[in-house]
Every structure is written in structure tokens, then in C-alpha cells.
Chains A and B, each alone.
Chain A
Amino acid sequence: MQLKTRSETFIEEICDIPGGEGIKRCIQCGTCTASCPNADKMDHTPAELIAMARAGMRREVLSSNAMWYCLSCYLCTVRCPRGIKQTGLMHAFESLAMRDGVSYAGSFTPTMYRSFNHFACALGSMPEFGFMTWFYMLSNPLRAWKMIPIALELFRHGRLSIKARRLTPEGTKQLRAILEKAETLGGVT
């Protein structure tokens, strides 16, 4: 049996993700980077991140801040001359970083995503008020304070529901059973 090197395993891991296999076709033309509205905030540009992933730099890629600044605007994806789905790769890197517990700590985005997911899974629906309060308390209570004027404005215009939409009890049970099962299946690959 031949042992796989680390680099092979990371690239294989990415290729196994639906939409991830294109990464092998990258020609480093830089179109994705030039298109990205947030490239200047990233410690590694989108094209760099792809080069690093191909070089097997798993830890460096997953602890990068780049994907947490991705806005999912899909400009890179529609412009890439090699049909690579970078936006999807960004999501995949985020999800792997979360699973490995190495996600970048300098931005509130991972916490925000986690709070969002927490509510979406638990209730099956997104209670915006509860989610935002929860997220601001977790990330920085001072910021919660700064959000009060916005919350009041929303409330005044009938746009803040305290009550969340709920699924029927059967629907809730069904969704929970599906998500519990999914958890045992070990990720998308």
C-alpha cells in the first residue's frame, strides 16, 4: 500500500467536495482576485488561496481569514476562465475550518455564521430578532448597544417580530431526525 502525502490528501479532500474538483484546472491567471470586492481585506487573495491549497498547505488555508471576508457575490465564479467554483471553495474551506476548530479568530463572521446555523437548525426557521440579539451578545455586548437604534427603527416600521415562525410539531420532528442522521454521515464527502 502506498502512503499518500499530506498534499495529495488535501487536494483529494477538496476534489471530493461537490463542485470542488475544478481546483486542479487553475492556471493562476488572477481573474478571481481582480474581481473580488474584498480581496484587499484578505491575508491571502482568492488566487493565492487556491495555489496554497494545491500546494497542500492545509493548515495555512484553513486558518486564513480570506474565506471569512467572502461575500458570496460569485463574481470570481462567473469570470474564472477555467470554470472553477471559487465561491463554493470558500464555503468548503469555512466548513472544514469549523470542523477542525481552526477558524480565524480576528473576525466576528465565524461566530455570526455559527449563531445563525444554531437557530436555523434548532427551529427550522430564522428568527431574526433572536438570532441578532444572540450573536451580538456572543460577539460583543457593546455592539449590541450600538444596534439598539436600528432595532427601534425596525420595530417602528413593523419589521421586527419578536415571535418566530415555527414549523408544525411533525415538521420539527422530521427535520430534527434528518439533521441528526446527517450528522452521523461525516460531511459532504
Chain B
Amino acid sequence: MRYYTYFPGCSASEGGAKAYNWSAKAVSRVLDVDLAELEDWNCCGSTPSGSVDELGAYCMATRNLALAEKRGLEMVTPCSACYVIFNRTNTYLNGYPPFKAKVNEALAAGNLAYRGTVKVRHLLDILTTDIGYDAIKSRVKKPLAGLKVAPYYGCQVVRPRFGFDDPEYPQSLDKLVLSLGAEPTNFPLKARCCGGSLVLSEEDVALDLIHRLLQSASSNGAECLITVCPLCQTNLDIYQSRVNKKFKTSYRLPVLFFTQLMGIAFGLEEDAIGLRNCIVPIEEVLAKYV
């Protein structure tokens, strides 16, 4: 058993990406990974908040880090945005002592202090690096032979360079698809942007980007996409019908969290991994393979 502190983030815990949280926990159980949720965590501080009030946002991030430091374990999050926020916070706190002093001064008002020792990692990193492809392969009960999956990384799991995979030509998710017995498709735009939260304020800008991604995946023969971020899944899945309307296309590409695809291959119950939460249904595609 491997132990981590788990930070689900707002979107996966009570928001639109609950299926990510469920499936992350379900496949972790199968792989002997203990994800103990950080108690009483708050929003990570988020990109939008950082653009309104930088110091406040850093303090929100650091409260979580300070709570996690008490447990002394590495913290893992399935959300690419939370992942970047925490890593950036750690980098700046540890690189700029006066800044750390300031944030700790604010934290002291809540009887907290942060030394700067919590390593924060993405769930994809944990599962592919710590657990590994062979262990994943050994749990596969329903190999997805023939299923063509476009591995979509998006931006923040690989950029900026906090991590475990190439920032422009990542491979980890491709290899994961292989270890599940499925086939990763060529996907030139696999690490390009989905539009992020601008889908709310500048919908046309985002639809344009989503359209390019769907086109890239589908022209390479993908039958579905997998993602590693709540926002990416939301944009590609929920806004697919709007893309079709705007660009007169007829995409019908299911978009799963990578943990959901793992769950399918592990033979887990549909409800345990939230397959019904997908707007574009996956059932038709799966019927051909499982």
C-alpha cells in the first residue's frame, strides 16, 4: 500500500467532474494506493483568483499546504489547475524568503504556518511513475484491444515544467493507454489548450480551440478521448454540441477521464466510475470492444 494526502479540488469533489473523483478513488483502491482526503481543505486559490488578488490566492493555496504538511505525506491532486497552483506556490515561497514571511504572517492569523515541505504531484504522475505501467497492466480484466483512444494532456499537467513528462510532447498517457490494451492514436494537438475558463467569458474563442482539438483527434481515427483535468473534460464534452452547431460538424466523441478508462479495463462497475456523467455517451463505442 502507498499512502498520499489527496486533494480532489472543487470541480472533482462537488462540481461537474465528480466522476473523476469517484473513478480516481476506485482505480486507486485496485492499485493499492491510499488516497486520504485532506481534511477541511479550501479552493486551491485558482487561476482566476490569482488574477484578482494574487496574495489572497497564494494564501488560499498555502493554507492547504500547511494542513497537508501536518500529515507529512506527498499530496496528490487529479486536477491539472490545482497541480500548477500548488507547485507555483511552493516554488515562489521557497525561492523568495520575504514572500514566504508575508504569507506566513497571514497564515498566523489562522494559527497556521507553512515550512514549505509538501511535494505536490498529479494523479497521472503517481499512477504512471510510482505504480507503473506493468502493475496497471496486471490488473486489466477487460483488455480494450482495438479501441482507438486520443490521449489528451492539455496544458497544465505538463506546463510549466514542474514535472514528470515532456512539456510539449508528453508520453505518459500514451503509454498508459497501451498498458490497458487499447491503442493510442496519433494526436498532434494533444498538449494544446482547450480554452480553459475562457469558455465562460469568451465562448467563441474557446469553441474555436475545442474545434481544432476534436478535428485533430477525429482525423487520426480516435473513437474517444481521455483527459487528465476537470476543465478539459468539461470543455470537450459539454461544449461539443456547440462546436457542432457553430462549425456545422457532427462530432460525437466521448470524453472520459483517464481513470474512467482504467476503471473500464479493470472491470469496475459503471456507477463506481461515473460513466453516466458523460454527456456524449461512451456505451456505443464500448459495446464494440468490451
- Which residues of A approach B to under 8 Å, CB–CB? 17-19, 37-38, 41, 67, 69, 71-75, 77-78, 85, 87-88, 91-92, 94-95, 98, 107-109, 111-114, 116-117, 120-121, 124-128, 132, 135, 139, 150, 153-154, 157-161, 163-165, 167-168, 170-171, 173-175, 177-183, 185, 187-188
- The CA-CA distance from A159 to B167 in the complex, in Å, is 31
Cβ-neighbour of B53 out of A18, A95, A174 (below 8 A): A95
A interface footprint on B236-255 (CB within 8 Å = 1, 0 otherwise): 00100000000000000000
A interface footprint on B84-110 (CB within 8 Å = 1, 0 otherwise): 100010011001100100110111111
Cβ-neighbour of A92 out of B45, B54, B167, B193 (below 8 A): B54
- Nearest B residue (CB) for A119: B43
User: Does B55 contact A78, Cβ atoms closer than 8 Å?
Assistant: no
- The CA-CA distance from A161 to B40 in the complex, in Å, is 19
Pairs of residues from A and B, 7 with the lowest C-beta to C-beta distance, nearest first? A74-B159, A181-B109, A126-B10, A94-B51, A124-B42, A18-B92, A174-B110
Cβ-neighbour of A126 out of B11, B110, B277 (below 8 A): B11
- B146 located at the interface, meaning its Cβ lies under 8 Å from any Cβ of chain A in the complex: no
B residues within 8 A CB of A185?
55, 102, 105-106
- B30 located at the interface, meaning its Cβ lies under 8 Å from any Cβ of chain A in the complex: no
5 A-B residue pairs with CB within 8 Å: A94-B52, A111-B201, A125-B42, A126-B46, A181-B105
User: Does B52 contact A182, Cβ atoms closer than 8 Å?
Assistant: no
User: Does A174 contact B202, Cβ atoms closer than 8 Å?
Assistant: no
User: Does A182 contact B106, Cβ atoms closer than 8 Å?
Assistant: yes
A interface footprint on B11-34 (CB within 8 Å = 1, 0 otherwise): 101111110000000000000000
- The CA-CA distance from A33 to B7 in the complex, in Å, is 34
User: Does B156 contact A72, Cβ atoms closer than 8 Å?
Assistant: yes
- B59 located at the interface, meaning its Cβ lies under 8 Å from any Cβ of chain A in the complex: yes
- Nearest A residue (CB) for B162: A74
User: Does A71 contact B198, Cβ atoms closer than 8 Å?
Assistant: yes
B residues within 8 A CB of A18?
92, 95-96, 99
User: Does B202 contact A69, Cβ atoms closer than 8 Å?
Assistant: yes
User: Does B52 contact A85, Cβ atoms closer than 8 Å?
Assistant: no
B210 nearest CB across to chain A (Å): 12
- Nearest B residue (CB) for A97: B51
CB within 8 Å for A187 and B55 given contacts A69-B198, A116-B49, A120-B46: yes
CB within 8 Å for A95 and B52 given contacts A109-B202, A161-B15, A178-B107: yes
CB within 8 Å for A181 and B63 given contacts A125-B42, A128-B15, A161-B15: no
- Nearest A residue (CB) for B195: A71
User: Does A154 contact B18, Cβ atoms closer than 8 Å?
Assistant: no
Cβ-neighbour of B60 out of A71, A87, A109, A120 (below 8 A): A120
A178 nearest CB across to chain B (Å): 4
- The CA-CA distance from A165 to B100 in the complex, in Å, is 29
A residues within 8 A CB of B13?
125, 165
- Pick the most buried of A113, A126, A174, A178: most chain B CB atoms within 10 A of its CB: A178
- B112 located at the interface, meaning its Cβ lies under 8 Å from any Cβ of chain A in the complex: yes
B203 nearest CB across to chain A (Å): 8
CB within 8 Å for A117 and B49 given contacts A71-B198, A179-B59, A179-B60: yes
- B278 located at the interface, meaning its Cβ lies under 8 Å from any Cβ of chain A in the complex: yes
A102 nearest CB across to chain B (Å): 14
- The CA-CA distance from A121 to B42 in the complex, in Å, is 9
CB within 8 Å for A125 and B10 given contacts A18-B95, A78-B161: yes
User: Does B14 contact A125, Cβ atoms closer than 8 Å?
Assistant: yes
User: Does B160 contact A78, Cβ atoms closer than 8 Å?
Assistant: yes
- B200 located at the interface, meaning its Cβ lies under 8 Å from any Cβ of chain A in the complex: yes
Since A72-B196, A112-B197, A120-B60 are in contact, a sample of 15 more A-B pairs with Cβ atoms closer than 8 Å, ordered by chain A residue number, is: A17-B54, A71-B196, A74-B160, A77-B160, A87-B160, A88-B88, A91-B50, A109-B198, A112-B200, A124-B60, A126-B10, A159-B16, A160-B16, A174-B110, A188-B102
- The CA-CA distance from A126 to B56 in the complex, in Å, is 15
